[in-house]
A = this chain, B = another copy of it.
Amino acid sequence: MARAASTVEAGDSAERILQILSESARLFATNGYDGTSMRDIAEACGISKSLLYHHFTDKDEIFARIALGSTRELYQFVFDRLPEGATPTERLRAFMVATGEYFQRYRWAWLASTSAFWSDPEQRRQKERMMWRDRYEGLVRTLIQQAIDAGEFRPLDVPLAGRLVLSALNWMHRWYKPDKGMPAPQIADAYFDMIFRGLRAE
């Protein structure tokens, strides 16, 4: 647990843990939490069960790390990619494209945690995830408000505009097919363009 608890691990161990999380997320999203065993995870990673248990005490610890991690890390991932000194409009575009990048890169974790988001039996864990989710939503509202203050956006209902942006991104997992059609960051960019400029002929 000591090693697994921190987000960044050094060297081989970090690589191994990322591999375990990624394979586990894929298995959870495909076969469900109950349909996935520690043996399945070890096999998918091509490692022994004892090496797996060296990194994680049980399946629930892996799941918690994916579910909580993917909400917290989404926030951090997106926040780190907002260009400093750029206009609010450009920062909102970066917010959307970064979410598309995160979705594409960690799609299994996204899927696994989305299905659990509303039904996590652990109250405390659920609360912590809601907090990161709220910060993520707060970020998009701040960017929209700043764009209005800067005269780039017209005055509008900020929470609703934020929901429009997040709805477009959140619904992607229902229809997105990797290796078919546009990559997710490009979809997010096209959405930004539509939402910013609107559909009307100019």
A interface, CB within 8 angstroms of B: 89, 144, 147, 151-154, 156-157, 160-161, 163-164, 166-168, 170-172, 174-175, 182, 187, 190-191, 194-202
* Pairwise interchain contact B195-A196, C-beta atoms closer than 8 A: no
Q: Provided the pairs A198-B198, A199-B147 are in contact, do residues A164 and B191 lie with their beta carbons within 8 angstroms? A: yes
* Distance A7 CA – B190 CA, assembled complex (angstroms): 41
* Distance A190 CA – B88 CA, assembled complex (angstroms): 22
* Distance A166 CA – B168 CA, assembled complex (angstroms): 9
* Distance A164 CA – B144 CA, assembled complex (angstroms): 18
Q: Hey, which chain B residues are within 8 Å of A199, CB to CB?
A: 144, 147, 153-154, 156, 161, 195-196, 198
* Pairwise interchain contact A164-B168, C-beta atoms closer than 8 A: yes
* Pairwise interchain contact A198-B196, C-beta atoms closer than 8 A: yes
Contacting residue for A171 out of B152, B154, B166, B190, CB 8 A: B166
* Pairwise interchain contact B163-A171, C-beta atoms closer than 8 A: yes
Q: Hey, which chain B residues are within 8 Å of A152, CB to CB?
A: 200-201
Q: Hey, which chain B residues are within 8 Å of A156, CB to CB?
A: 194, 199
Q: How far is the CB of A201 from chain B (nearest CB, A)?
A: 5
Q: How far is the CB of A189 from chain B (nearest CB, A)?
A: 11
11 pairs across A/B with beta carbons < 8 Å? A144-B199, A154-B197, A154-B199, A154-B200, A154-B201, A163-B171, A163-B175, A164-B195, A167-B172, A195-B199, A198-B198
Q: Hey, which chain B residues are within 8 Å of A161, CB to CB?
A: 194, 199
* Pairwise interchain contact A194-B153, C-beta atoms closer than 8 A: no
Contacting residue for A164 out of B89, B194, B202, CB 8 A: B194
The residue on B at minimum CB distance from A176 is B163
* Pairwise interchain contact B147-A190, C-beta atoms closer than 8 A: no
Q: How far is the CB of A93 from chain B (nearest CB, A)?
A: 11
* Pairwise interchain contact B147-A160, C-beta atoms closer than 8 A: no
* Distance A201 CA – B200 CA, assembled complex (angstroms): 14
* Distance A187 CA – B164 CA, assembled complex (angstroms): 10
